[in-house]
Structure 1
Amino acid sequence: MNFELPPELLELQAKTRSFIAEQVIPLENDERQNSHGPSEALRRELVERARVAGLLTPHVSRDMGGLGLSHVAKAVVFEEAGYSWLGPTALNIHAPDEGNMHLMEAVASAAQKERWLRPQAAGQTRSCFAMTEPSPGSGSDPSMLATTAVRDGEDYVINGTKWFITGAEDAHYAIVMAKMEDGAATMFLTDMDRDGIVLARNMDAMDRCFTGGHGVLRFTDVRVPATDILGEPGKGFRYAQVRLAPARLTHCMRWLGQARRAHDLAVDYARRREAFGKPLAEHEGVGFMLADNDMDLQTSRLHIWHTAWLLDQGQKCNFESSRAKVVCSEAQWRVVDRCVQILGGQGVTAETPVMRIFTDMRAFRIYDGPSEVHRWSMARKIVRAAQAS
């Protein structure tokens, strides 16, 4: 892998960095935000700014209106976008839409892409991914899927409850995972205004950076035409891996930007704030934390770039993306936690963005698979590989 970025990518990196600094960060205190994320009005303004700047939806193919970036290029641009918690919203690369768009490009029919993907790539619509369920349904173990889809003529009738559904409020369409009569998991596409789909409530969560929050959805006798099956029937779990491996990595990219932001703020504070006759940065305890931050940031970036490079070579990277997700979620959390410590009182108040980054980031170690599940999955693959050698 060549770590030297080509001139055009360096230019795009600089362009994105300037856009975030000049067009996005000034809106971080905009009142059009609440505990469930940016409002639709703020999202649309951010999207329009990115469109004017030529940065909208960089991960989607040019045919669909994006920039068609490679995985490595995404790693560079997504990190820059993530420097502000509003950056991914502006560039239309926030979760779950970014992963859904990737899945739609890989699996959806031409008609489905025109109906759902093209307006989403243009920033006109949002989506959600309805898979996680309350107990005894599926969580970290997707085989416990409880939502059902029963064939009735030319339609399927879906019943079930989903929760922790990011972006559910005001989403325009959903990708719904349901179990068919033969027990096979299938993905369905549905407009969110279809009869029988109810947003029961939005869940109070530590993070507030995702437009639409995290919702509880109820599906009661929802009729979906068989033509709106995403891909082929019975291949839901396979398609979930198509979506999740790159999506895990893009989370790492975006949160790396937030961790770097917190570190930059901590460095600046440690240089200026004095205690016991000298700047904090000259005290060994603080200096060691800054050094540890740098190591964790660089380790995260190398895992991201390496896995992105492998994806660009056509590899599936289920193992590598799990490894990167664990390493990055834990390393980046350590960075932000140290920054809170360095800033002291400033770190536990809204006087700086660090407190906000801290509360937003904690969930990263849980969603798209908690660290423990990824370690368990990796261990099984390691043992199987050893047995086969």
Structure 2
Amino acid sequence: MEYQDSEKAVEVATRVEAFMDEVVLPREREALANDEVITNDEIEAMWEMAKDRDLFAPQMPEKYGGQGLDFSDMLPSFEQVGRSLIGALSIRANAPQEGNMHTLEMVGTDEQKEQWLRPLVQGEISSGFSMTEPMQGGGSDPKMLRTTAEKDGDEWVINGHKWWTTDGLTADFLLVMARTNMDAHPYSGTSIILVPTDTDGVNIVRNIPHMGGHSITEREGGHAEIKFENVRVPVENTVGEENEGFQIAQMRLGGGRLTHCMRYSGMAERSLDIAKAYLSKREAFGDPLAEKQSLRHKIADAETKLHAARAIVRHAARELDRSEARIEVAMSKTYTANVTNEIIDLAVQCCGANGIGRDLPLAHFYEDVRTFRIVDGADEVHRRSIAREAFEDIKEEELEYICRFDTNRQMH
């Protein structure tokens, strides 16, 4: 399919695809077959190979060690890395590191970029994004944010309770969303503050047990529950302007949602490839399963929906270059999350017992993809935004017609 990707985007994605096929996928298959854990040393060796091939951190500027791709140009590469359980990690394009890099590069001070961004890009340190809170705190309704940061001289004093901070167990620093002006609406009174995890009062409570928590690498930072108890950091650790945390988070999440969509569409593509290969070899009731019409129709529907998902994400990316593209991103995230969920479920079903076994990556994919309908905004939140926009666009002529039609009916 042609998606009007630029020559640069196609060229880099082609090289990323080759790296996945030649280096990453063979090691993943071996690890799954032998129930092995891929070590940190192996991942770092992949980083060096990615650097040699000019593939490392494609989303970051060259001055920080990345490839300097524009947002739209990097999406096809993200789709290629999504085909592997370790693909994004192998080229340093994995969440939440990728999103935190983008945030610091976008609004960080020069000092923050040198101290935190540069080593983050190179994989020398790790990070987390602390926004979500336990009931009744910030979550699908971020206005419910309860964590506070109060000024005491030239320091912030942070108190709050966060959870689901991805990679929080191993993070060297956290980007913490906190209310910094309690008299203002949360959208105009919240800031993002950089907090080193070795700061007094940062208490990592636990790794939250969760669906999809089976990693095949040592580099597993979990989803941490964290309490901030009178945590003091300099006011200069504010990331971006004070009280503009929600605007910055929206910029971070908009692009992050689309990169997630592309990674998961790559996962769906790999799942379909596995399912089609299995169906073509597995015989039952006298024929290969690939000859059964009901399965062929399901595969056809899956291919069609995946094509539509790829197209809608690319359209949203083009719009994001020009505007906030809030509705386009919401549509892309909701549609792609549900399509990839359906496709991976189909692949598991097609492969039967092999689908639920862990010799293939499908069982891992299946657990991972279900979370995609919740993380980065639950389906219901995005549909609420889409519906609100839709009902703001009711045409006056249609209202007049409906009213006239209803009046005539009452007369008869």
Is TM-score (shorter-chain normalized) higher than 0.5? yes
Q: Deviations over 1:287-327 (max 9, x none)?
A: 11111110121011101111112223x22111111110000
Q: 1:88 aligned to 2:88?
A: yes
Q: Deviations over 1:59-95 (max 9, x none)?
A: 1122322112122221110000111010111111111
How far apart are the structure 2 equivalents of 1:143 and 1:157? 21
| Residue 207 (structure 1) aligned to one of 186, 209, 212 | 212
Amino acid at match of 1:189: L
- Report the counterpart of residue 248 of structure 1 in structure 2: 257
Task: Return closer, same or farther for 1:124/1:30 CA change in 2, 3 Å cut-off.
Answer: farther
Larger radius of gyration: 2
8 Å Cα contact 1:39/1:211 also seen in 2: no
Q: 1:168 aligned to 2:168?
A: yes
Give 1:180-219 correspondences, 5 Å limit: 180-183=180-183, 184-208=189-213, 211-219=220-228
Q: 1:285 aligned to 2:318?
A: no
How far apart are the structure 1 equivalents of 2:108 and 2:389? 30
8 Å Cα contact 1:38/1:211 also seen in 2: no
Task: Return closer, same or farther for 1:303/1:149 CA change in 2, 3 Å cut-off.
Answer: same
Amino acid at match of 2:234: P
Gaps of 5+ in 1: none
Task: Return closer, same or farther for 1:373/1:94 CA change in 2, 3 Å cut-off.
Answer: same
8 Å Cα contact 1:23/1:49 also seen in 2: no
> Cα offset for 1:165?
0.7
> Cα offset for 1:107?
1.1
- Secondary structure (helix, strand or coil) at the match of 1:211 reads coil
How far apart are the structure 2 equivalents of 1:21 and 1:311? 31
TM-score (norm 1): 0.93
How far apart are the structure 1 equivalents of 2:38 and 2:395? 50
Q: 1:257 aligned to 2:257?
A: no
How far apart are the structure 2 equivalents of 1:387 and 1:44? 57
How far apart are the structure 2 equivalents of 1:173 and 1:43? 21
- Report the counterpart of residue 343 of structure 1 in structure 2: 351
Task: Return closer, same or farther for 1:383/1:4 CA change in 2, 3 Å cut-off.
Answer: closer
- Secondary structure (helix, strand or coil) at the match of 1:104 reads helix
8 Å Cα contact 2:3/2:311 also seen in 1: no
How far apart are the structure 2 equivalents of 1:216 and 1:38? 26
How far apart are the structure 2 equivalents of 1:311 and 1:242? 9
> Cα offset for 1:204?
1.1
Q: Deviations over 1:208-249 (max 9, x none)?
A: 358301111111111010011011111111111111111111
> Cα offset for 1:44?
3.0
> Cα offset for 1:100?
1.2
Task: Return closer, same or farther for 1:5/1:144 CA change in 2, 3 Å cut-off.
Answer: closer
> Cα offset for 1:132?
0.2
- Report the counterpart of residue 409 of structure 2 in structure 1: none
Task: Return closer, same or farther for 1:376/1:4 CA change in 2, 3 Å cut-off.
Answer: closer
- Percent sequence identity over matched residues? 36
8 Å Cα contact 2:160/2:228 also seen in 1: yes
Query: How many pairs are equivalent?
Result: 385
Amino acid at match of 1:108: G
CA RMSD of aligned residues (A): 2.2
8 Å Cα contact 1:43/1:211 also seen in 2: no
How far apart are the structure 2 equivalents of 1:273 and 1:243? 45
Task: Return closer, same or farther for 1:6/1:248 CA change in 2, 3 Å cut-off.
Answer: closer
> Cα offset for 1:381?
2.1
> Cα offset for 1:30?
4.0
- Report the counterpart of residue 365 of structure 2 in structure 1: 357
- Secondary structure (helix, strand or coil) at the match of 1:342 reads helix
Amino acid at match of 2:134: P
Task: Return closer, same or farther for 1:278/1:165 CA change in 2, 3 Å cut-off.
Answer: same
- Report the counterpart of residue 324 of structure 1 in structure 2: 332
Q: 1:301 aligned to 2:306?
A: no
Q: Deviations over 1:83-140 (max 9, x none)?
A: 1010111111111111111111211111111111111122222210000000111111
- Secondary structure (helix, strand or coil) at the match of 2:79 reads helix
Q: Deviations over 1:241-283 (max 9, x none)?
A: 1111111111001111111111000000111111111110110
8 Å Cα contact 1:38/1:212 also seen in 2: no
> Cα offset for 1:43?
4.1
Give 1:1-389 correspondences, 5 Å limit: 3-28=3-28, 30=31, 40-183=40-183, 184-208=189-213, 211-312=220-321, 314-386=322-394
